[in-house]
Amino acid sequence: GMFVTLTQHMNFEGLVNDGAWMATELKLPHGTWTNPDNEMVATATSWALLLPAYGVFQRLLSRSFIARGFVEEAFVGQVNSPMIEMGGTSQYG
């Protein structure tokens, strides 16, 4: 989520390289919602949390760009209407 958000926001020309990903360290504790310890845990509707949360992150990042004078880097964010219905197919089809 974080890498996709930064890629879509910072790399406006659409080019992606591994620089941002290599500089990122993910800490996913075992037994949390990002690294569940039970294979039967429901993970199909994670978009219902991730898209609104990272939409807010994009808007906050844009406000910080504007505050620093980079007005051309401003980005409104994304519309987050029905995430559960539009989130894609689950792991069970």
Residue 91 lies in a domain: no
Residue 70 lies in a domain: yes
Residue 13 lies in a domain: yes
Residue 92 lies in a domain: no
pTM above 0.75, yes or no: no
Q: Which residues contact 52 (CB under 8 A, 6 or more apart)?
A: 80, 83
Q: Is the pLDDT score of 44 beyond 80?
A: no
Residue 73 lies in a domain: yes
Q: What is the pLDDT of residue 77?
A: 66
Residue 53 lies in a domain: yes
Q: What is the pLDDT of residue 67?
A: 92
Residue 48: C-alpha distances to residues 37, 43, 52 (Å): 21, 10, 7
Range of the domain at 82: 2-86
Q: Is the pLDDT score of 52 beyond 70?
A: yes
Number of domains in the chain: 1
